[in-house]
Amino acid sequence: MIEVNGLSFTYPRCRERTLQQLDFRIAEGEIFGILGPSGAGKSTLQKILTGILKNYEGSAKMMGIEIRTSDSSLNEQIGVAFEFPNFYTKFTALENLQLFGSLYKKQAVNPMDLLREVGLQDAAGMRVSQLSKGMKMRLNFCRALLHEPAILFLDEPTSGLDPGHAEGMKALIRNQKAMGKTVIITTHHMKVAEELCDRIAFLVDGSIKLIDSPRELMVRRGTKRLAVEYRRNDGVLARTEFSLEGIGDNPDFLHTIRQFPLETIHSQEASLEQIFIEVTGRKLQ
């Protein structure tokens, strides 16, 4: 779906490259996360892939077409939710969607259906200036879907949302994947990446340090231990860790689980946050 080879980018009048020699592919139907601290180059990369910044070096292809040379037909294929969206604040939510929808050749989706999908049906007639941050984020999501794009770009989709609305946003994103869409998320939130993405790229100082699935990373780089919490005979809660290797024949482990009432039992995967620090030497925020 997207193929990037030797991609570099330098902003005009800047001496240093913002992106350096990136190589990666994104498959159709995948949720791909671009993860990195503030200033890493995530938004710059998104702007290149969405055809806004065209004077890049190397190659970036979408559906086989070099993005630099693509025309406006590319815009019909992609939906973009910018981190800081512009709306006409004196117009209503519905009017904004109608207006932005009219900019596309193809208008397949009824804006009212979209508003209903994200729980904004009652806000359709409200001016954008009256909407809360969470409502604006959901409206922004609707705006990206107006023309039923095959590829969706979401820049910090849960930023500023309370936990309830963040969960709702994640469900909406998963729903897009279920419909066969390709989704590219840029974020500095580990949890979002961990829960949503099929694969993630760690981007630091304009370079990709690693690409893998969050699950693989956490299992492979984890400490591979099992923590057991149990009640001792004297009623005190105890906790013991065992190596996962050969655990089925480990007499201490077998004794513990046979002898005492268990309270909890957990394998100890590394968190994505720990792995990020380990790989890049940097914190995310």
Stretch that binds ligand ADP, among 37-45, 209-217, 222-230, 239-247 (CB under 6 A): 37-45
Q: Which three-class secondary structure state does DSSP give residue 97?
A: helix
Question: In whole angstroms, how close is the CB of 42 to Mg ion at the nearest point?
Answer: 5
Q: Can you tell me which of 38, 102, 233, 285 binds ligand ADP, judged by CB under 6 A?
A: 38
Q: What angle in degrees, to the nearest 10, is found between the helix axes of 272-280 and 214-221?
A: 80
> 11 contacts which partner out of ligand ADP, Mg ion, none, CB within 5 to 8 A by kind?
ligand ADP
Q: Which three-class secondary structure state does DSSP give residue 140?
A: helix
Report 226-245 residues binding Mg ion (CB under 5 A).
none
Cα–Cα distances in Å, from 23 out to 4, 37, 105, 208?
5, 19, 32, 8
Stretch that binds Mg ion, among 41-49, 118-126, 246-254, 259-267 (CB under 5 A): 41-49
* By CB under 6 A, residue 88 contacts ligand ADP: no
> 41 contacts which partner out of ligand ADP, Mg ion, none, CB within 5 to 8 A by kind?
ligand ADP
Question: In whole angstroms, how close is the CB of 213 to ligand ADP at the nearest point?
Answer: 22
Edge-to-edge order in the sheet of strand 182-187: 78-81, 151-155, 182-187, 31-35, 199-204, 207-212
Q: Which of 127, 178, 183, 186 is nearest to 158 (CA)?
A: 186
Query: Based on CB atoms, which residue is closest to Mg ion, 30 or 155?
Result: 155
Contact yes or no for 200/191 (Cβ under 8 A):
no
Gap between the Cα atoms of 201 and 214, Å rounded: 10
Query: Based on CB atoms, which residue is closest to ligand ADP, 40 or 228?
Result: 40
> 187 contacts which partner out of ligand ADP, Mg ion, none, CB within 5 to 8 A by kind?
none
Q: Which of 274, 151, 175 is nearest to 217 (CA)?
A: 274
Q: Can you tell me which of 18, 20, 43, 96 binds Mg ion, judged by CB under 5 A?
A: 43
Stretch that binds ligand ADP, among 39-47, 71-79, 115-123, 257-265 (CB under 6 A): 39-47
Q: Can you tell me which of 2, 4, 7, 40 binds ligand ADP, judged by CB under 6 A?
A: 40
Q: Which residue is nearest to Mg ion (CB)?
A: 43
* By CB under 6 A, residue 43 contacts ligand ADP: yes
Report 44-73 residues binding ligand ADP (CB under 6 A).
44
Gap between the Cα atoms of 22 and 9, Å rounded: 10
Cα–Cα distances in Å, from 204 out to 38, 46, 188, 236?
9, 15, 11, 46
Break the chain down into helix, strand, coil percent, rounded to 5: 35, 25, 35
Q: Can you tell me which of 14, 178, 179, 236 binds ligand ADP, judged by CB under 6 A?
A: 14
Angle at the Cα of 275 from the Cα atoms of 274 and 278, rounded to 5 degrees = 90
Report 100-139 residues binding ligand ADP (CB under 6 A).
none
> 149 contacts which partner out of Mg ion, ligand ADP, none, CB within 5 to 8 A by kind?
none
Query: Based on CB atoms, which residue is closest to Mg ion, 49 or 94?
Result: 49
**Residue 94: exposure state from Cβ atoms within 10 A (0-12, 13-18, ≥19):** buried
Residues near Mg ion (CB under 5 A) are 42-43
Q: Which residues bind ligand ADP (CB under 6 A)?
A: 11, 14, 18, 36, 38-44
